[in-house]
Amino acid sequence: MSDHREGLDYRELVARYTKWRDAYVRAEKIAPNEPDWENGRLYFRLGYPHPDWRAFIIDEQDGSYQVVSASTERSAVATEGWKATFSRLEDAGKFVIATIADYLRIECDLEPIAMKWRAEGLDPRVRKEELPNALAKYSLATAQDVYMIANARGIKPEHHVLPLSYDELNQVLADGLSHNVVRAL
């Protein structure tokens, strides 16, 4: 992986993601691909280059971080869809890691954390503000400049990553996984 954006924050994100790739191996599951830079965007692919691969992409634009999903399911060309915009790379990375870790949790017959978060509703440390165009801004109550913008419909469980550190997120995601798998984290 090499790109001009390989700053400390990107290295931290890739190191955290790599630990989850290792957790897949320890769980004897097919691990996601290594992160890869393409056209200035950071890709987190699953199943590439095989048919029906999918990915999450972090695209830095104007000081914010767009998370985009991509898939080649039933298509020769990847289709992309916007998931959310974050004010910090760390939170965009935690969004990707939480999703990838939830895939592993499902493969290990555990409830996805997103389901638990959805049931909990809005985290009390986060504020939701309705925006135009059916969007919502989720921001930390103590730091309004730390935010996530997503579709406004319902409560987006992913907002729970905002108040968590990488280590706290790992603890939440690792709950219920075998000791052997958790050792990778």
Instruction: Check: pTM over 0.85? Answer yes or no.
Output: yes
> Cα 135–140–98 angle (5° rounding)?
75
Interval 145-173: pLDDT, tens: 999 999 988 888 999 999 999 999 999 99
Q: What is the mean pLDDT of residues 104-130?
A: 96
Confidence (pLDDT) at 150: 96
Confidence (pLDDT) at 4: 45
Confidence (pLDDT) at 6: 56
> Cα 167–82–163 angle (5° rounding)?
25
Nearest residue to 67 via CA among 22, 6, 13: 13
Q: Are 138 and 148 in contact (CB under 8 A)?
A: yes
Report whether pLDDT(177) > 80. yes
Confidence of residue 1 (pLDDT cuts 50, 70, 90): very low
Confidence (pLDDT) at 48: 86
What sign results for the dihedral spanned by CA atoms 20, 21, 22, 25?
positive
Confidence (pLDDT) at 8: 67
